[in-house]
Amino acid sequence: MNYESEDALAKINLAIWQHDQPAQKVAPGAAAGFFFGSNGVDVVAQGDSWFDYLPGVDIIKWLKLTSGYKIKSFATGGDTLENMVYGTEIKEGSWTRKPVELADVLAEIKSTKPAFFLFSAGGNDIAGDEFASFLNHADSSPPSLLRTNYVNDTIDRVFRGSYEDMIKRVKAVSPKTKIIFHGYGRAIPTGKGVVNFGNYRFIGPWIRPSLTRKNIMDPQIQRKIVADFIDQFNDMLKSVADSNTDVHYLDLRDLIKDEDWINELHLNALAYKRMAAVFEKKMDSLLTPKLAAVLSEAKANALASFQQLDQSLAASQSTLPAPAQAQWVAAPPPPVVKHTNRTRKATTTKAKPAAKRKGK
């Protein structure tokens, strides 16, 4: 099934809209009986484009479509860990700080007391132009191509501190809410962005340009550098989870195959579906019997509606040629286009214009 066609995305977005309508069973234009349950177990989410990937179907979209959980998401593609927790955005000209979005997230958590808070963050603090600062130039005869001390300080002190602060603040307003976050997979520096036209890229790439600038050209060495960085980040997340009560880390690395990467930072729709299933399985396993009973009906409704959606997509795609498979061939170093607009707030019933994306 191709979930990334224009028709599929339109129908999926309609279904997502339906999920966010608490008192309406039939979305305008949808088949009678379409209902993506919004009366299930409460979940709040905050994150980057693994939770909010506009061109495709991300983890949160899949959870809304199939899990039965009632999810309010504050995720914005391109957002950074530092901005999510502390706020880094300013109003140019007046040079005043914009409100920290975590305040809105905490207000929602305090109000709804969700069973789970899902969090995805850290990739955009590393990827893009920032990645070059973690690399030594290959021609400088360095002891390591990674600036080890800088990497250690960034991951084990700065990032860890941000995650610990996030946990403390969530627990302060809702002590019983369980927190779940994930590590990223070992990305492949292919030079691919979200949109690729010849040697031009729009939104990305985020990794290969920095490696090329530092004359790190061997594809195997490039992959090892990225893998080492990602592995250290995952190790830190596991340590944070192990050190806190009701905090859970999901290791997705071995579940992600090379062919799952649609560009340097993002997975294809079916891969995100598998990642969403990992989140769903973890949440299901942590529910009390009372909440499990609440979820049961909502999950049944969601799965029935998703089956209708799948049948509709299958019918519309049955006469179309199969989509071409992505070819993961390294591309020439493209120009980097950086996007940092992260102003979009939580999902509401009112349609909002899409924000430009940097990456995750």
Residue 330 belongs to a domain: no
pLDDT at 13: 83
The rounded distance, in Å, linking the Cα atoms of 322 and 312 is 17
Which domain does 128 fall in, by range? 6-317
Residue 337 belongs to a domain: no
pLDDT at 360: 61
pTM of the model: 0.83
Tokens of 130: 């920032």
The rounded distance, in Å, linking the Cα atoms of 225 and 217 is 12
Q: List the beta bridge partners of residue 135.
A: 146
Helix (H, G, I), strand (E, B) or coil at 126: coil
Chain-centroid distance, C-alpha 45: 10
Q: How far apart are the first and last CA of the chain?
A: 24
Comparing CA positions, the residue from 171, 153, 163, 180 lying closest to residue 122 is 163
Helix (H, G, I), strand (E, B) or coil at 307: helix
Half-sphere exposure in the Cβ direction for 62 (13 Å, CA): 22
Comparing CA positions, the residue from 24, 84, 79 lying closest to residue 54 is 79
Tokens of 228: 């080492």
Residue 355 belongs to a domain: no
CATH code of 173's domain = 3.40.50.1110
Rg, the chain, Cα only: 20
Residue 338 belongs to a domain: no
Handedness of CA 162, 165, 169, 171 (dihedral sign): positive
Burial 137-160 (b: 16+ CB within 10 A, else e): eeeeeeeebbeeeebeebbeeebb
Cβ atoms of 68 and 299 closer than 8 Å: yes
pLDDT at 341: 44
Residue 144 belongs to a domain: yes
Residue 359 belongs to a domain: no
Query: What's the number of domains the chain is made of?
Result: 1
The rounded distance, in Å, linking the Cα atoms of 22 and 47 is 23
Residue 345 belongs to a domain: no
Residue 166 belongs to a domain: yes
Per-residue pLDDT of the chain (360 residues; tens, 9 = 90+): 788 888 888 888 888 887 777 644 445 554 444 444 457 899 999 999 999 998 789 999 999 999 999 999 999 999 999 999 999 999 999 999 999 999 999 999 999 999 999 999 999 999 988 999 999 999 999 999 999 999 999 999 999 999 999 999 999 999 999 999 999 999 999 988 776 777 777 676 889 999 999 999 999 999 999 999 999 999 999 999 999 999 999 999 999 999 999 999 999 999 999 999 999 999 999 999 999 999 999 999 889 888 888 888 888 887 656 554 444 444 444 444 444 444 444 444 344 444 445 556
